[in-house]
Amino acid sequence: MQRIRLRYTKRGRLRFTSHRDFQRAFERALRRAEVPMAYSAGFTPHPKVSYANAAPTGTGSEAEYLEIALTASRDPERLRALLDESLPTGLDIVDAVEARTSGLADRLTASVWELRLTGVEPAVAERAVAAFKAAETVEVQRTAKNGVRTFDARAAVVELETHGTPADRPTDQPCAILRLVVRHVTPAVRPDDVLSGLRAVADLAPPVPAAVTRLAQGLLDEETGTVTDPLAPDREAATAPAAGSAAAPVPA
């Protein structure tokens, strides 16, 4: 059995895809691409797919991860291209490696997010960010199915900084861009919660919903405050000692 790890995106309008929607679409893409999937045993066999840490509905992502189990070996790059072609544009498969290490999920300890706040002056955002970072804790509330929950949104935030209006935006409309690095903790602190926190500490209230995108997910480097590519260890393991694998026949 071969295991392949994939990085995929939720771009543009398809960021409104829920995780359940993505799962159905992905399983259909596996069929269209005729991937030799391994199936679970049991009354209703399911293709073996493990999803890690999906981004919330409505947020874009450049870095979602999953792992599939195959009954026959496939070249990861060709498989990536086939699957990508079988999915709607916006749900793009952008990276594939054969799993040669354990614990992909263990390497996803933090995320880097970009939050575009259209209609917000960068200076205003800057002040709110400063207030947020200065606070010891920032209590926020989230409405879940079983009621309103209150928790701290500050501790999980490793980094939060402001950038000015980007070049690709018309200058007549202010737009602040936040870059957020947040640890994966329980209960999860999402970009939404950080926005609630900014509102709580500094009354920051964007006039339109923020456009939120996950830029990266991976192992948090505590010193630099960056995250590392979680597929890198698999790639390194592949190029290192496994001699002769380059000549191995790769079907389809």
Partner 1 sequence: MSAEVAEAVESVFPQLEALLPHVQKPIQYVGGELNSTVKPWESCDVRWALMYPDAYEVGLPNQGVMILYEVLNEQEGVLAERTYSVWPDLEALMREHGVPQFTVDGHRPVKAFDVFGLSFSTELGYTNMLTALELAGIPLESKDRGLDDPIVLAGGHAAFNPEPVADFIDAAVIGDGEQAVLDMTRIIRAWKAEGRPGGREEVLFRLARTGGVYIPAFYDVEYLPDGRIARVVPNRSGVPWRVSKHTVMDLDEWPYPKQPLVPLAETVHERMSVEIFRGCTRGCRFCQAGMITRPVRERSITGIGDMVEKGLKATGFEEVGLLSLSSADHTEIADVAKGLADRYEEDKIGLSLPSTRVDAFNVDLANELTRNGRRSGLTFAPEGGSERMRKVINKMVSEEDLIRTVATAYGNGWRQVKLYFMCGLPTETDEDVLQIADMAMKVIQKGREVSGANDIRCTVSIGGFVPKPHTPFQWAPQLSSEDTDARLAKLRDKIRGDKKYGRSIGFRYHDGKPGIVEGLLSRGDRRLGAVIRAVYEDGGRFDGWREHFSYERWMRCAEKELPRVGLDVDWYTTRERGYEEVLPWDHLDSGLDKDWLWEDWQDALDETEVDDCRWTPCFDCGVCPQMDTSIQIGPTGKKLLPLTVKNAAPAPAPNGHAH
Cβ 133 to partner 1 shortest distance, Å: 26
Of residues 83, 58, 78, the one with CA closest to residue 210: 58
Q: Determine if residue 100 is left, alpha or beta; phi over 0 gives left, psi from -120 to 50 gives alpha, anything else beta.
A: alpha
Cβ 209 to partner 1 shortest distance, Å: 4
**Beta carbon nearer to partner 1, 91 or 157:** 91
* Token couple for 246: 């380059």
Asked if 61 is part of the footprint of partner 1 (rule: CB under 8 A), the reply reads no
Asked if 208 is part of the footprint of partner 1 (rule: CB under 8 A), the reply reads yes
Asked if 58 is part of the footprint of partner 1 (rule: CB under 8 A), the reply reads yes
Query: Of 61-69, 83-91, 94-102, 167-175, which part binds partner 1 (CB under 8 A)?
Result: 83-91
Asked if 22 is part of the footprint of partner 1 (rule: CB under 8 A), the reply reads yes
Asked if 166 is part of the footprint of partner 1 (rule: CB under 8 A), the reply reads no
- CA distances, 153 to each of 46, 140, 241 (Å): 37, 6, 44
Sign of the four-CA dihedral 210, 211, 217, 220: negative
Cβ 26 to partner 1 shortest distance, Å: 10
Of residues 229, 215, 5, 15, the one with CA closest to residue 108: 229
Q: Which residue type is seen at 18? A: S
List contacts with partner 1 (CB under 8 A): 13-14, 16-18, 20-22, 24-25, 27-32, 39, 43-45, 57-58, 86-90, 208-209
